[in-house]
């Protein structure tokens, strides 16, 4: 089995809106696939189909080699699901939640108790395990939800926007959990609207927009697809800015964009930047900042989904981090 | 243990264990039958039985038992509807469990609560002077009949809960169904002296037959004249409701989730 998750031409309509308009995606066994897209792109619908919670109107999907429509029970034996809105039973304690899942999966009482205890410990919830989940913080609830999806030791896990609404600390904790899962060889399908999250965690990314895949590939490939690298130069002296821009234009063959005192130009031939540095040095133009950088996934995302890019001087990645 | 049984019991446990954490939620189950006994024995009963309170207790208590069971079935639909709006059902559905297990768990849990309600009603009845004039076998059969009607009606309640938009709308509809079913019966007031159309309804109403059967079984004479037909009618109603509601609820459940 090459792919743990394969979907082809998934279509889903709700009344007269088309949620998915033919989505293809694959996730190799033991890899992390990031499903990236803005709100309403159809990410949750994809997850619900792959988790056998919804039926596609057209197209097929196989999880662990089993068709999600024809053999949903086989698929359910393989997967763990952590929804966008933590699906824990608020009326039960943390321990009772996990114990219940263990029993539902056919474990004996002692086994289910042990498993619950071990998972609570793994997610730092041992002390809170005897308290009602109603009183948990958002981060604790999300961790309990994740623990609940791991009771059966699934080899394939869906994480539907696991960090939406979490504070940066709780978010970092969840990232660590995902990394641990990936290190254990679990296949992870992670949906997110945060580019940095996909960039940090995913081996491959599928970008979804308005129910259709607009790009897929490794994070590096996606960045390259959008524009390769950019050379950025900030001359130390303002009166030399034009001279510097002239040299850049001459060597690269394109005049640089100016953002304040920063000169920025896309480069496709990596032999050229050293020539630029040499020429600037020869011309006696000291440089305060020099960088060769890839576009952030944020920019990639904005280009691919057609969302206008933000004003250039805004710190692009910071604004995406939820409060 | 069979998977369905383990899953059903686990999900029933899940519904019942919060009551252990906050027993306050049980107050309704306790208060309802006590209140009903007060109303029908002391408020109306004395009048209906010509001022004889003991006779009123003998007549009304079996009715209260039946009514407590019927009222308690509303909870099934309300709780089910609440669960549907709760992410936890998505979790259940993504697990390799029998599809109907959450439905079964709900009905099982409500059956336990209903047992509590009926038990309390019986105890309250003893407190105001009710005595079983027959024997333990009759008591067992009476409880069995009450459970049979309650279980079959629970599935109707489940159906209503599955097709209702919100728990509140479910509650309103269910009350509108249960009220004529319980009050429009001979559970508390004998049929004689009612207008013809009401007599007709009271005679077909399953609550009348259930209350009549329970009365005949627990009190004995003079209420056991129609005992056999009341038992048959009750079982017939239970069978019909099961045959109608279980498949419909199953279908609504598959649609809803």
Provide the ipTM.
Answer: 0.81
Question: Which positions in chain B have a beta carbon within 8 angstroms of at least one beta carbon in chain A?
Answer: 3, 6-7, 10-11, 13-14, 17-18, 21, 86-97, 101, 257
Q: What are the residues whose beta carbons fall under 8 Å from the beta carbon of A272, sequence distance 6 or more? A: A231, A251, A252
Q: Please check whether residue A81 touches B, CB under 8 A.
A: yes
Q: Cα–Cα distance between A221 and A231 in angstroms, integer?
A: 18
Structure tokens at A36: 């990236």
Q: Please check whether residue A52 touches B, CB under 8 A.
A: yes
What's the predicted TM-score (pTM) here? 0.78
User: To 5 degrees, how large is the angle CA B128–CA B131–CA B134?
Assistant: 165
Per-residue tens of pLDDT for chain A, all 323 residues: 578 999 999 999 988 888 999 999 999 999 999 999 888 889 999 999 999 988 999 999 999 999 999 999 999 999 999 876 668 888 899 999 999 999 999 999 999 999 999 999 998 899 999 999 989 988 888 889 999 999 999 999 999 998 888 888 888 888 998 999 999 999 999 999 887 888 889 999 999 988 999 889 998 888 777 666 788 899 988 888 889 999 988 888 888 888 888 888 888 777 888 888 889 999 889 888 888 887 766 667 767 766 544 433 333 333 333 33
Work out the minimum CA distance from A106 to partner chain B, whole angstroms.
Answer: 7
**Inter-chain CB proximity A52 and B6 less than 8 Å:** no
Decide: helix, strand or coil at residue A145: helix
User: Testing the interface with A: which of B6, B79, B91 to mutate, by most A Cβ within 10 A?
Assistant: B91
Q: Cα–Cα distance between A204 and A218 in angstroms, integer?
A: 4
Nearest CB to A88; choose among B3, B17, B88: B88
**Inter-chain CB proximity B86 and A89 less than 8 Å:** yes
Nearest CA among A91, A110, A112 for reference residue A100: A112
Q: Cα–Cα distance between A76 and B150 in angstroms, integer?
A: 34
Decide: helix, strand or coil at residue B46: helix
Q: Please check whether residue A91 touches B, CB under 8 A.
A: yes
Distance of CA B84 to the CA centre of its chain: 23
What backbone phi and psi angles, to 5 degrees, belong to B72? -65, -25
Helix (H) or strand (E) holding A81: strand A79-82
């Amino acid at each position: 089995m090459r792919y743990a998750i394969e979907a082809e031409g998934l279509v889903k309509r709700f009344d007269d809106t088309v949620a998915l308009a033919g989505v293809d995606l694959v996730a190799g066994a033991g890899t992390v696939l990031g499903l990236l897209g803005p709100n309403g792109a159809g990410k949750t619908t994809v997850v619900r189909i792959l988790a056998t919670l919804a039926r596609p109107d057209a197209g097929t999907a196989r999880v662990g080699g089993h068709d999600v429509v024809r053999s949903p029970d086989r698929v359910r034996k393989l997967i763990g699901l952590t929804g966008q809105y933590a699906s824990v039973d608020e009326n039960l304690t943390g321990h009772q939640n996990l114990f219940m899942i263990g029993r539902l999966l056919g474990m004996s009482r002692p086994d289910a108790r042990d498993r619950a205890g071990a998972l609570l410990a793994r997610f730092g919830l041992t002390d809170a395990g005897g308290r009602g989940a109603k009183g948990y913080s958002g981060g604790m609830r999300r961790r309990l939800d994740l623990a609940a999806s791991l009771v059966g030791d699934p080899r394939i896990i869906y994480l539907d926007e696991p960090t939406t609404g979490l504070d940066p600390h709780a978010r970092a904790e969840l990232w660590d959990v995902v990394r641990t899962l990936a290190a254990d060889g679990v296949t992870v399908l992670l949906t997110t609207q945060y580019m940095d999250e996909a960039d940090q965690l995913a081996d491959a990314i599928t970008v979804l927009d308005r129910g259709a895949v607009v790009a897929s590939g490794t994070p590096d490939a996606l960045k390259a697809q959008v524009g390769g690298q950019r050379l950025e130069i900030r001359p130390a002296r303002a009166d030399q800015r034009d001279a510097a821009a002239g040299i850049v234009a001459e060597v690269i063959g394109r005049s640089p964009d100016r953002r304040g005192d920063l000169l920025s130009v896309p480069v496709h031939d990596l032999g050229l930047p050293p020539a630029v540095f040499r020429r600037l040095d020869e011309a006696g133009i000291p440089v305060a900042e020099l960088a060769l950088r890839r576009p952030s996934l944020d920019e990639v995302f904005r280009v691919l989904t057609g969302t206008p890019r933000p004003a250039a001087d805004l710190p692009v990645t910071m604004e995406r981090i939820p409060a | 243990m069979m998977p369905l049984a383990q899953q059903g019991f686990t999900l029933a446990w899940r519904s019942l264990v919060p009551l252990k954490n906050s027993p306050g939620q049980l107050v309704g189950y306790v208060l309802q039958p006590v209140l009903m006994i007060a109303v029908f024995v002391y408020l109306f009963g004395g009048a209906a039985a010509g001022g004889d309170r003991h006779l009123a207790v003998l007549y009304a208590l079996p009715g209260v038992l039946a009514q407590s069971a019927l009222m308690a079935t509303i909870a099934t639909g309300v709780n089910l509807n609440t669960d549907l709006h709760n992410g936890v059902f998505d979790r259940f559905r993504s697990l390799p469990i029998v599809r109907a297990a959450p439905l079964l768990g709900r009905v099982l849990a409500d059956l336990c609560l209903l047992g509590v309600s009926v038990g309390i009603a019986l105890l309250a009845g003893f407190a105001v002077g009710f005595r079983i004039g027959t024997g333990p076998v009759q008591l067992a059969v009476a409880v069995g009949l009450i459970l049979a009607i309650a279980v079959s009606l629970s599935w109707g309640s489940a159906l209503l809960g599955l097709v209702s938009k919100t728990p509140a709308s479910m509650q309103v509809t269910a009350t509108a169904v249960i009220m004529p079913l319980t009050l429009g019966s001979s559970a508390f007031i004998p049929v004689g002296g009612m207008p013809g159309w009401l007599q007709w309804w009271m005679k077909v109403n399953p609550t009348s037959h259930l209350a009549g059967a329970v009365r005949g079984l627990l009190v004995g004479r003079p209420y056991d004249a129609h005992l056999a037909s009341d038992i048959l009618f009750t079982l017939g109603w239970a069978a019909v409701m099961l045959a109608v509601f279980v498949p419909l609820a199953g279908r609504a459940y598959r649609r809803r989730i």
